[in-house]
Structures are given as structure tokens and as C-alpha cells.
Structure 1
Amino acid sequence: MLSIRPLFLIPCLVVHTALLAQCPTGNVAILSQEDADAFGSDYPDCTTLSGDLFISGQLINDLSAFVGVEVIQGDLRVEQVLGSPLDLTGFNGLTHVEGSVLVRNTLPLRDLQGLNALQRIGGDLLVEACDSLKTLEGLSALRVVEGDLVIGNVSMTSIDGLFQLDTIGGNFIVTDADVSLPGSLPTLTIPADLDHVGGDLVIATGYTTSLTGGTGLERIGGELQLGICFSLQSIGGFNALDAVGTDLRIYGNPSLTSITGFGELDSVPGELWVYGNWALGTVGGFPQLDHCGRMIIEGNTDLVSVTGFADLDSVGNLLINANDALADLSAFDRPIGLGELQITSNPQLAICHVQAVCDRIAVFLPGPSIANNATGCMNEGEVQPNCISTTVPDTTVPQWSVYPVPTAGTLNLSHPLNAPAQVLDHSGRTVLHTTLRHGQLDVRALVPGVYHLQVIDAGTVHRLSFIRE
């Protein structure tokens, strides 16, 4: 038996060597039509390229030599191809690219139809500066882009074609960059099956008037930026979004009149920044948002009111500044834990004595900055008496208190009840959800500082401040 083994291995070695010889090793550069034809002659049975495939040059118009290639283990780069009309139909069998797909500076390319079997890209997908390319049709089988998806094509009319895309591991960036081409991307439709973006989602398209789609997008791992969209009038496409990893920034959209489509969003741990949207009349559209690390509403010329935010529980830092027409802060006329507070340079704002602001003025924290608004909200000294005058004490209900203050162990409530409660830190962030037992709270796990205890009893919210020493 042992004498037969070498004879058995010899044909296997020959077959394995022959399989390797079907494809070139390393990177492949196609710089002319002659190079493409030569690949077809030399490697007619090649199915897997072990390196990058780089296509660049003039008068390249037939890539049928690559019809058998199924996997590229490096990058697929189509760059600076000039001259004759180009299509990618030679890649009809390509299903996986382990590296990135880079398509840029290629004027003759009119569509991506040749990539209609491509299912997965291990790196980035970048499409930019291909002026004849109008859509992404041809990527209908693509499900996963593990890196970034970047679309920077100034002449594109839609990003339709990503019908099965469900995951982008990195950033999703759409920009047209060139405001000299009106009509590009008039409607931007976020792929319906996309449910996760691991990094940032950035949309900066000058002539897009509306955002739609996105019915399955539930989470953005980084920040969501909607900015410098000069024609954008309304925001949709985010009805399923329940979380962003850092910030939500809506800025520099001079035609934007309303913000809707964030009905499921419950947390913005970083900044919610609404800035420089000149035509925006009201800030609302966040009915389930319960916490925001920092909320900035600034430089919105026509903004009249801030409404909604029915579930908002805490804001670490609230800044409302330089909104020329702002007169209504009714969104904050309810118990909301506020940390740092700045209300400045809103010339029409005369009523600041809403509950959240009044509660913030009453606690023993560094004072809020209230200045240069209309009479009644010119400074803290004007607001505080209005807070007192609009608070009518109910003498039939005993006043609530906590003791001892400060404390290092157990905090006692003047009402020895069992009730749900939460503790907010000085920035308004909820740090503890608990249930009071006989009106007592163990605070030993808290670091020293100023806190606010919020207790719900019979539908009424009671808020009391205490110090953990």
C-alpha cells in the first residue's frame, strides 16, 4: 500500500498546478484593449483573481475576456477610462470582490449592468466623477458592502439599483458636490432593504428636494448628517430609525420647511444640531426621543416654534440661539432634566418661563445663560419671577422633600411610598432607573455630585435635587 501513495500524489500535484495556471498571480493591469484581449487568450478559464484588477486607459470598450471571473480577491478598479463607450458586461459572472470596487473618472461608462451578479464587496464601493452614469442600476444583486459606500457623481439622477442591499459596514455618503448641475438627484431614495449602516450616513446633495425610502433602516452606528442640501424641502426616509451612535445634524438646508420621519428615534447620545435652515418654521417630528446629549437649535431664520418631543426626558446641554422669529418653546413646558442651558439672541422670544427652564433655574447648579431675547426673557432675573407667578401651589397636597442633604448612603423621601423613580446627573442624563421602597433610595453607587430625583406618583412627576457627598 505504501508504494502506491507516491503514484497517487503525482497526478494530484499536476492537476493542482494546472488549476493555478488558469489565472495570473498578483495584480492585473488592463491599460488598453489589446491587454484585455490578451487576458482572454492567455487565461480563458480563469475564475479567481488573487490580486487587484486595474482597468485604465483609452479606447477600452470590450471586457468580455473576464466573463469567467467569479471572484476578485483584491480590488476592482475602473479609473480614467477614456474614449469609446464602455460597459461592464464582461463581469456578468462576478459574485464577490474581497477588496474594494472603485469606479471613478470614467466618462464613457453609462451603466453598471455588467455587475448584476455581484453580491458582496469586502471593502468600499466608490462611484464618483463618471459624468455619463445616471443610476446604479446593475447592482441589483448586491447585499453587503463591508466598508464605505460613497456616491459622488454630479450627474446622477437617482441611486436606484441597490434593491437588495441590506448592510453597509462603514459610512454611507451621497454627495453631488457640483451646484452647477441643477436636476441631479431630485429625489433621493434610500434602499428599502437597508437595515444597518455601521458608520456615518452623510447626505449633501444640492438639488435633492426630498428624501424617501429607508423603510427598513433601524440603526446608524455613527452620525446622521443632512446638510448643504440647497433644494431639500422635507425629510423622510427614516421612519424605522430607532438609534444613532453619535450625532444627528440637520444644517445648511435653506429650503427645508419641515422635519418629519423620525417617529421611532429614541436616543441621540451626542448632538441633535438644527442649524442654518432658513425656511424651517417649526422643530418637531421626534415624538419618541427620550434623551439627547446636546441639543442645538441655532440660526434658523424663520423658526417660530419648538414643539413636540413628547417623550423627551433629559437633555445634557440645551442651546437655543439666534433664531430671529422664535416665539414658542412649548416643547419644554413639561418636566425635562436639563444640564447646561443657554437661551440667547432670539429677539422675538418673550416667554421663557416654561416648566423645564423654570425647574433648571430652581436647582443649585451654575446658572443658565439667558440673554438678549425679548422683554420677559432678557435675562434670568426676568424669567425667574414669571416662573414663580405661574406656579400656583396646591395647599391640599403636602410638599415633597428629601433628606438628609447631602448624603453618602440612604436618601429618604418625605413620602414613604413604593414608586418608580429615576436619577439624573447634573447634565440631565439618566444614570439610574429604580423603584423606591418605603421612600428610600440607596445612593452609594453614585459618584459625588449634584443629582435630581424624579418620582412618578399617581400620574404626577415630582422632581427633587440632592447632593451625593
Structure 2
Amino acid sequence: MKMFLPLVFLLAFATVPAWSQTCSVPVLRTQADVDNFSTAYPGCTVINSDLEISSPTITNLDGLRNVTRVTRSLKITQNPNLTNIAGLSSLTIVDIRLSINNNDNLLTLEGLDHLTSTKNIDVFNNKKLTSISSLSGLNRIFGGLTIASNPALTTLQGLQNISFIGGLDLRKNDNLLNLNGLRRLRQIGETMHIGNNNSLKNLKGLERLETLTSQSSGYIEITGNKALTSISEIGQMESRVPIRITNNPLLSDCAIKIVCSSIPFANATISGNAAGCASTEEVRTSQVCTPQTLVRINAGGQAFTTATQKLFVADQYYAGIDRTSSIASGDILNTTNDVIYRSARSASSFSYNIPVVNELVNVTLHFAETYFGVPGTKGEKGGPGSRQFNVNIEGGRKLTNYDIFAEAGGALRAVQLTIPVSVTDGMLNIDFLTGAADLPRISAIEVTATPTLIPIEDGMVNGGLYKSNNYANSDHLYIRQVPSGGDYANLTWRSYFKFQLPAGKAAITSAKLRVYGHNDDVYDNNPDNTQNTEIHAYGVNNDSWTEKAITGTNAPAASTASLGSVGVNDVLKYYEIDVTSYVNAQRQSGDQTVSLMLDNPANQSTAVTFSSKEGGFYPPQLIYQTTKIVQPTNMTARIGQEEVFPEAQKRQQSTVYPNPIQDQFTVSVSPEHTGPITFEMINTAGKSHFIPAPQNAKPGENTKINIAGESFNTGIYSLKVKSDAFTEVIRILIAE
């Protein structure tokens, strides 16, 4: 016996399985399976497989109280008699997906109070579920969160600690009253779908939501919410993604920033809502989405309203050396708004950083010389050349040694000039820099929307074998002509565009067709696509064609000779052709619809590809002006980077990492900079704060920046990096 007992003990110890801490449990089919879990899998706390719990006999999960983790997915589904899941009280992690579906008598998610991590959560079709408050341990869900078809659920309380969700899907929760449970949500990765929640009146709870981080595959859909009256709670979002707002019968106002910024890129579908939000066109033409004036600023002065009711707000959005000047009285010629020109911001170096929505804006600068050449002042003897300064806009030089006295024709005379500018980061940056003499001076700034039209129809047609085909759904447009009898005769293409002009007969002073693309033909007969292919624009008087019906056999012919052309090479950017003469003629004749065609009459046999309006971020555009664009006369050779949009001025940009940032981050400084480099943080209200520049900040090198101790709130900022040669703005996010 003395020899036998130890052997029995050893054998008993040896039978404890290797899976004493982990086990594979594919499915629990009965209440007995649940109750006997600790016996069947002694010591198991981590289930290293998918686990499905599904049975009409299961009423509780108390037998799983020792389980702390499921390394794959946990699926609790089709348990009609399950009333609680309190037995999961030790569960902290579900690695891939937690699904709680089709449990007719489940009342709450009590038992998940210690859950801190899972990639995806699905909670749907639980008829009596009234609370998900036990999910409060979660703060980030990197996959998707789906809460759907839970008719007794009235609140999302329990999700209040979540700041990031990969994708949000809220559907068919008939009694969901609000989204306040998501009040800390700041970012969604790809998609947001809020649909068929019949009691949801607004999107309160999403006021902190800033962006969809995936601009390429993300989308927003708000559809079928019968009681919804407001979506203004997501008006602060910055993303430019496809957005669908449909069949919300009480929703009358959807002209918010994120919608307005998506419409010009053919990314918005709006229909079936109340008047005011009934169609994409109605929202596009609303005062909110197409404001004629974005902002007017009385530089160096107080708010002032002109006789024609134009409000110039008090000086704001400025940064740099804070110095103003003014005169108490004096008649300013060439204007009836003398007050604006008597005050000014004037210093050796300052800037304005103005938040705007529109990508294309007109910047009107107002000047008057109130010192040099003015009788009775120390500057009385001054005249032309006494004040000369430089102005950069969006990092590019626009005025060099600008002389107010010379341009206005003397002192105490108002002069204005308007410069078209492309803004791509939501912040218009204007820098006033010392030039050949004295200090820069600006009296007022106006930023107005540049009217931009997206085609109501566009399409391409084939002139060869595929001439009977229609390409209405194509996200691109081809232009190519092959000499008759050539090997590629079946690969001839031309493209069409139809624009709806606004009402009225005001003369069009400038109209440009813009198309985004490049010469991408590097095959066979054209191995080098760096050479220009000349693309010509033609007027088409026949506007009866539609993109869903046009083919090579019925496409209308050109009605005019070439209106203009542009050389297209391998650089992917917007290319422009001036079509002012034809557009103005159409408008003056009373025809508010303009059709244009692009072709390559030189038969260069090379394929050029442009984005269509279905292509997403870079649709075709018609940019027009009905007011004169004044160019300064003291500029020499005003060409190149000063006449094109920034797409054609590619300069190596600085980068920031990590982004989002907290107390410390690194700036990889662009080699485009020269001389001393400054760093300035600007919030969305335009308030700026200079960051002490590290002494070792050098072009082409990394610079570490520490903002610990600075009073920055969380949110989106613009980091302005500036030197003598280059000014750039980088969008950053300060996280909690």
C-alpha cells in the first residue's frame, strides 16, 4: 500500500488535462451544457475558439462565471428563454466579435460589466432588451458596432465612454429616443448608418463627433427615420465622404457643413425628406451651402455696416505682430465707406488665418495709403515707393513689393484687388510680409465664394467598335482619337459635360472648365506619358442628350470651333480650359444650360483619363465669375505658380507624427523651408498660439515639439509652419 498510494496520487495528477487554463468549446446547446461547463472543462478560464450559445432550453449562463476571455467570437443567439447573462460577470475580453442576437426574453446585458475589449459588437433583434448600460467598460471599438431591431431599447446609455468606433450601425430601434449614450464619440473609422429608428427626433449625443477617418471608403447614411427633425448635431464634422439623407419625412434642414462639402464632389444623395431637404439640388443652392460672402473683416477696426448692408466684422483671425494704425478723420476718395479705410493692420509681419468651407474662393484686399503723401503728416513728402510689401496667400506669393500709393493713384484713395484662391485644408492663410520699403498695411479683407458648378450630366462615348455602348456609371472619362485606319481605331473616345447656369443674364466675365486627371497612356504606341496631349473644348448647342442614353451613335456634334485647349501630361491634377466666350454667349441668349465636349483633334493616339462626377472627390467643375477679377499692375511676369491652383504647385510638405497628438509630437520639416522656422497652432475659431521654436529646427530634419503645460483643448487644429521661403498648414488632432 505504501508503494501504491503515491502511484495513485501521481496518476490522478497526470490526468489533469493540458487545457486546464484554456479550452476549445465550439457550442453550448443545452442548459446542462452551460451548468456542467466547469466539470467538462475543469480550470478553463480562456476559450481559445469561437463559442456559440444557442438553445431553446438555456435560461441563464451562470455556469460560465469563471470564463475571462474568448479569443475569437462569442455568439449568443436564438435563445428564446434566456432572461439574463449575469454568468458572464468575469468576462473581460472577446477578441473578434460579441454577438447577442434573437434572444426574445433577454432584458439587459448585465454580466458584461467587466468587458473592456472587443473588436466588434452586434446587438440585434432582442425583443425585450431595455438596457445596454453594462457596456460602459468599453472605450474603443476598432471594428463595427451594430445596435439594431431592439424595439424596447430607448437609450444607448452604456456607450458613453466610447471615443472611437470603426463603423456605427443603428437601425430599426423603434423606441430609441436619442443618441446621448454616444456623447464622448469623436471619431468613426469608415461608416455611419442611422436608419428606420421611428422615434429618433435628432442626433443629440453626436455633438463631439469630428470625422470619419477613412476618406476613401467611408460613407454616412441617414434614412427612414420617421420622427427625425434635425441632423445639426453632426454639423461640426470635417469629413468629405459620400452621404445619403433619404426618406426622413420631417427633416427640413440638412444644409450643414459636412453635407455642403460633399455635394460639390457628387457625393451627396438627398431625397424623400421635407421641403428644404427634399433634393440634392435644393440643398446645394441653399444660402448655407452656397453663401455669396464667407466673411468680411475690417482690419484694425470695429464692426462696420455699409450703406448697402454689407457687414464688415471687427478685426479677427489675425496672428503675428499685433499692431494697428488709424486716422480719426479724412475724406477717402474712390469709396463711400471711408470708415473701413481709415483703420488698418500694419506691422512688419502678420497673417490672417480664416476658416472657410469652400475650396475655391475670391479674396478681395482693400487698401488705402493714409500716411505717405498725406498733407500735415510726417509722411507728407512720401509718394510712390515709400511703402512696398509682399503678400502670400496659401503659401504662394501673390503680391511683390505692392505699392498702395502707386496703385491707388495717390494718398487717401481706396483701391481693391481680387485674387482667386484654392483652399484645400479649410483654412485660408494670408501672410503680409515686409518688402522693399516700410511696413505692410491692410484695411479690409473680403472672402467670397467662387461660384462652382458640378455637371448635371457627364458621359463619354466611343467612336469605334463600342459606339453603341453607354457608360453612365463610369467613374472616369476618356478622351482619345486615333488616326483613321490605325491599329487602335476602336479606341477613340470623347467626353461630354452639361452644366445648369444660375438664373439671370449678368455677363460672365470668366468661366473655366476644370477636369481632374492625367495622361495615363504608357502602352505600345505611347510609352512616354510625360509629353503633353492637347485636349480641346467645344461648345455643343444641343442639350437634349443625357448621360444614361448618350452613345457614339447619338452623341451631338460640336457646334463651335475649339474654345481653347490645355496640355495634359502625366501629372494628376485639375486641368483648366477657358470657355468664357461660349458660356457668356449662352447666358446672354437666355439658354441656362451649357453643354461642352472634350476631344483631341490632333489624333495623337494617346489616352487621357479624367474623373467623372461619379468618381468621388474630384468631379468636373465649371468655375465662373460675374464680377471683374482685378490683377495688380505692379507685378512682373505674373505667371506660373501665381496663376494656377495649388494642385499644380506641388511642394514637399512637412509631416507630423503621431497624429492624433498629445503632449509631444515630431515634425518632419520640409526641405522647402529656409532660414528661421516658426510653429503656430490655430484652432477652428481662428485663435492662434505660437509654440516656442526648438533651436534645432532645420529644413529637412525632424524636430520634437512639446506642448505639455500649454492650454490646448482637445480638437482639430492647424499647425502653421513658416519660414522666409515657405508657409504651410498641417491639420492635426489633439486627443484626450
Q: Same fold (TM over 0.5)?
A: yes
How far apart are 1:280 and its partner, in Å? 3.9
Contact 2:284 2:290 in 1 (8 A): no
User: What does residue 172 of structure 2 align with?
Assistant: 176
SS of the equivalent of 1:58 reads coil
> Residue 88 of structure 2 aligns to which amino acid in structure 1?
F
How far apart are 1:256 and its partner, in Å? 1.0
Q: Deviations over 1:125-159 (max 9, x none)?
A: 11111111134221000123232212212413222
Contact 2:79 2:102 in 1 (8 A): yes
SS of the equivalent of 1:100 reads strand
Correspondence list, 1:181-260, <5 A: 183-189=174-180, 191-207=182-198, 208-220=200-212, 221=214, 222-244=218-240, 246-259=241-254
Q: Unpaired segments of 5 or more residues in structure 2?
A: 1-11, 295-355, 362-421, 423-446, 458-496, 516-535, 545-582, 593-624, 652-736
> Residue 587 of structure 2 aligns to which amino acid in structure 1?
V
How far apart are 1:299 and its partner, in Å? 7.2
> Residue 203 of structure 2 aligns to which amino acid in structure 1?
L
Q: Which moved more, 1:149-158 or 1:69-78?
A: 149-158
User: What does residue 423 of structure 1 align with?
Assistant: 644
TM-score (norm 2): 0.41
Correspondence list, 1:135-150, <5 A: 135-150=131-146
Q: How far apart in 1 are the matches of 2:542 and 2:360? A: 19
Equivalent residue for 1:133, pick from 129, 133, 145 = 129
Judging changes above 3 Å, is the alpha-carbon distance between structure 1 residues 68 and 240 closer, same or farther for their aligned structure 2 residues?
A: farther
Q: Which moved more, 1:87-96 or 1:135-144?
A: 135-144
Equivalent residue for 1:55, pick from 53, 56, 63 = 53
How far apart are 1:414 and its partner, in Å? 7.0
How far apart are 1:398 and its partner, in Å? 6.8
How far apart are 1:218 and its partner, in Å? 2.5
SS of the equivalent of 2:133 reads coil
How far apart are 1:115 and its partner, in Å? 0.8
SS of the equivalent of 1:138 reads helix
Q: Deviations over 1:220-266 (max 9, x none)?
A: 1211222232321110332542224x312323322112136647997
Contact 1:249 1:271 in 2 (8 A): no
Q: How far apart in 2 are the matches of 1:268 and 1:32? A: 54
Cα root mean square deviation, aligned: 4.7
Judging changes above 3 Å, is the alpha-carbon distance between structure 1 residues 121 and 88 closer, same or farther for their aligned structure 2 residues?
A: same
Equivalent residue for 1:110, pick from 90, 107, 114 = 107
Judging changes above 3 Å, is the alpha-carbon distance between structure 1 residues 279 and 337 closer, same or farther for their aligned structure 2 residues?
A: closer
Contact 1:163 1:191 in 2 (8 A): yes
Q: How many residues are paired up?
A: 359
Q: How far apart in 1 are the matches of 2:26 and 2:88? A: 15
Bigger radius of gyration among the two: 2
Judging changes above 3 Å, is the alpha-carbon distance between structure 1 residues 216 and 299 closer, same or farther for their aligned structure 2 residues?
A: closer
> Residue 108 of structure 1 aligns to which amino acid in structure 2?
N
How far apart are 1:110 and its partner, in Å? 1.0
Q: Deviations over 1:41-93 (max 9, x none)?
A: 3345322111122111123222121112111012110110013x511111111
Question: Is structure 2 residue 111 aligned with structure 1 residue 120?
Answer: no
How far apart are 1:420 and its partner, in Å? 7.8
Contact 1:202 1:226 in 2 (8 A): yes
Question: Is structure 2 residue 53 aligned with structure 1 residue 46?
Answer: no
SS of the equivalent of 1:36 reads helix
Contact 2:263 2:280 in 1 (8 A): no
Contact 1:240 1:264 in 2 (8 A): no
Contact 1:243 1:265 in 2 (8 A): no
State the identity %. 21
Judging changes above 3 Å, is the alpha-carbon distance between structure 1 residues 381 and 168 closer, same or farther for their aligned structure 2 residues?
A: same
Q: How far apart in 2 are the matches of 1:280 and 1:133? A: 36
Question: Is structure 2 residue 280 aligned with structure 1 residue 297?
Answer: yes
Q: How far apart in 1 are the matches of 2:113 and 2:649? A: 51
User: What does residue 8 of structure 1 align with?
Assistant: none
Question: Is structure 2 residue 576 aligned with structure 1 residue 383?
Answer: no
Q: Deviations over 1:403-441 (max 9, x none)?
A: xxxxxxxxxx974469984734xxxx945478xxxxxxx
Q: How far apart in 1 are the matches of 2:289 and 2:179? A: 27
User: What does residue 326 of structure 1 align with?
Assistant: none
SS of the equivalent of 1:35 reads helix
Q: How far apart in 2 are the matches of 1:87 and 1:252? A: 37
Judging changes above 3 Å, is the alpha-carbon distance between structure 1 residues 278 and 218 closer, same or farther for their aligned structure 2 residues?
A: closer
> Residue 63 of structure 2 aligns to which amino acid in structure 1?
A
Contact 1:117 1:141 in 2 (8 A): yes
How far apart are 1:100 and its partner, in Å? 0.9
Q: Deviations over 1:275-313 (max 9, x none)?
A: 214424279xxxxxxxxxxxx824779979854484312
How far apart are 1:94 and its partner, in Å? 0.8
> Residue 39 of structure 1 aligns to which amino acid in structure 2?
F
SS of the equivalent of 1:134 reads coil
> Residue 450 of structure 2 aligns to which amino acid in structure 1?
P
Judging changes above 3 Å, is the alpha-carbon distance between structure 1 residues 114 and 200 closer, same or farther for their aligned structure 2 residues?
A: same
Where relative contact order (Cα < 8 A, 6+ residues apart) is larger, the structure is 2
